[in-house]
Copies of this chain bind each other. A is one copy, B any other.
Amino acid sequence: MSEEEVSVLFMPSGLRGQVPVGTTVLQAAQRLGVDLESICGGQGKCRKCQVLPQEGEFSKHGITSRAEHLSELTETELHHQSRNRLKGARRLGCNARLLGDLVVDVPEESQQHKQHIAKAVTAYDIQVQPALHLYSVTLPEPDMHTPISDKRRLQQALVQDHELPVMDCEMSLLRNLQPALAKSGREVTVAVYQFQKIIAVWPGVKKEVYGLAVDLGSTTIAAQLCNLITGEVVATADTMNPQIRFGEDLMSRVSYVMMNEGGDVAMTQVVREAFNQLAKRAAKSAKIQLDEILDMTVVANPIMHHLFLGIDPTPLGTAPFALTTDQTQVLRAADIDIHLHPETRVCTLPCIAGHIGADTAGVILSERPDLSEEYVLLVDVGTNAEIVLGNRDRLLAASSPTGPAFEGAQITSGQRAAPGAIERVRIDPETLEPRFKVIGCELWSDDADFAEQSARIGVSGICGSGIIEVVAEMFLAGVIDQDGVVGPIVGKETDRIIQDGRTWSYVVQEGERPIRITQNDVRAIQLAKAALHAGTRLLIDRMGIEKIDRIGFAGAFGSHIDVKYAMVLGLIPDCKLENVGSVGNAAGTGARIALLNFPSRLEIGEILPKVEKIETAIEPQFQEYFIEAMALPHKTDPYLELSKVVQLPPPKPKAEPGGDDRKRRSRRRRART
């Protein structure tokens, strides 16, 4: 460790690194990619970057952490302390400087939640208009002369004080009404759902109530806990989808149901239990009670959606992929074993078609292509790529069977995006030597300190965005030809391209468990990108347009890939590079919009039936486009925008019929000589 540097470990993210003595905690967080909010830009005004220094021996990390390892409290911090805005041992990240090794806890409320920020890019402002509202009323004492019920007194008070005629009450509310009245001198607060039904009651005045927006993915489940009055995200939590033990991908889960009596029930049960765990964690982190969560919105692909609702998804596993419901469903939490308030409403957003789910509804709600003048292409890449194309006049949607390659699955050295996974790759076109970055370390692999700094996390594999980059770089360096064939290059000596049975592989890192890209891996990426490209092209054809104005990648994959490489591989059609970008976790954002803005639930219900669904499986042109899209792009392809950014190879000379294979073989032979 350099004399002038200190070790810092951020919790709960686990991100760590070395920073020069005197670096502020906020700077260190920014450098290490830690999620620590700052609005004022480090001026000590917004108080968002509060952190809590930890005391103790963190021997596993070789850190002896002491609060004194931070600079003394500044004037600014003392000022905030005096006004009770900086509580206990908390420090302002922008004021406190690191003087020694430290473990720093970033409280939930100081995390900015990346998807929130990603969302801010598209500048969508959520109008907070929740599905339920709180009303406080004081009821008159019961009176034998007017022996009406307390329920009726409550209704009368709501009309009198709030001009709100509420016809209906939930039974569980009735059970709690008189006890609440007795506890608080007959002043109570009620939650009214959609201005129609009283669903909860509390003694006295209550001012806050919460909701949960959940993005239920095949792999992960992510929840955002929001204050329904202010609209703030007060906590987030995510977890693996426990259904993974029944099958890694969607189709294997459907197979599980088909092979196992009651398999759907088991999967419904575990996913609901995961919801409960997430809610518990989010509530704990936000320091609220579970029964203060009264509303929930859920987005999911059709199979996850049906399983969550307790519907057997088997018909979604085979043509004609018949959905049981494509409409918004509202359920009581108690009816589906979700342990919040029993009357919490759980609203699943509508599905579009058998392959295009409520997650895509969330993406539409987040990005609102239906309001755009420009033609927008939205792509949510998972095991299937769900694609939406259109503008305010017309929307098309399709699902393309990309397979799991883009997520690092079924790739020789593939792995999920996690610390130790290669996420960036560059190949020197001259030496063919790679340099790369792994998740959890800020340095490139050719940096002097890389070996030391990455030692603890190691280099374990390659994730989705890394695969895109390495294949694209291999192509740009000539390691892959336009057909996707891996092979050595004439006149270039390298240990990186090795024979691997009857084909060739490219070695990103040598070692006991080498990381390499095989011919099969390239094929898997080609198949995936061809599926995505063909689906997109089908939509463009159907729309009858030449060019797309804007492209947004949704989801985790979209947040991490370098769009330039996505275009080099031909994942997406040509588009001005500055108009291509991540739209963050748009599905999750859509769930949050639906949670905070009730009218949007009605809007999405109106938009979806108008979306034209293209079923790629039965479109005769899909196969043709798919085969064409297997090849990698070249200079004279209509990639005008892309050609401004990268040097694409010239087109391959036309092959004589049947001559393809022979030529490939001869090329290899040449290389070996």
* Chain A residues proximal to chain B, CB less than 8 Å: 141-145, 147-152, 169, 171, 174-175, 177-179, 309-312, 315, 319-327, 329, 331, 334-336, 351-354, 613, 615, 617-618
Contacts and interface: CB of A to CB of B under 8 A. Distances in A.
Contacts of A315: 142, 178
A611 to B, nearest CB: 10
B322 A175 contact: no
Contact of A150 (B147, B312, B322): B322
Contact of A321 (B144, B151, B334, B335): B144
28 contacts: A141-B320, A142-B315, A142-B321, A144-B617, A144-B618, A147-B321, A147-B615, A148-B323, A149-B323, A149-B325, A149-B326, A149-B351, A150-B322, A150-B325, A151-B323, A151-B324, A151-B326, A151-B327, A152-B327, A171-B329, A171-B331, A171-B335, A175-B309, A175-B310, A175-B312, A178-B312, A178-B315, A334-B335
Given A149-B323, A149-B326, A171-B329, A144 B615 contact: yes
Contacts of A152: 325-327
Contact of A177 (B171, B175, B324): B324
A144 B325 contact: no
A453 to B, nearest CB: 51
Nearest to A147: B353
B329 A150 contact: no
Given A144-B320, A144-B615, A320-B142, A309 B171 contact: yes
Contacts of A617: 144
B615 A145 contact: yes
Nearest to A146: B613
Contacts of A145: 615, 618
Given A171-B329, A321-B144, A335-B171, A179 B149 contact: no
Given A152-B327, A171-B335, A174-B311, A613 B179 contact: no
Given A145-B618, A150-B324, 15 more contacts: A142-B320, A143-B320, A144-B319, A144-B354, A144-B615, A144-B617, A145-B615, A147-B321, A149-B326, A151-B327, A174-B329, A175-B311, A178-B311, A334-B335, A335-B335
Contacts of A336: 171
Contacts of A178: 311-312, 315, 322, 324
A254 to B, nearest CB: 14
A615 B315 CA distance: 62
Nearest to A354: B147
Contacts of A331: 171
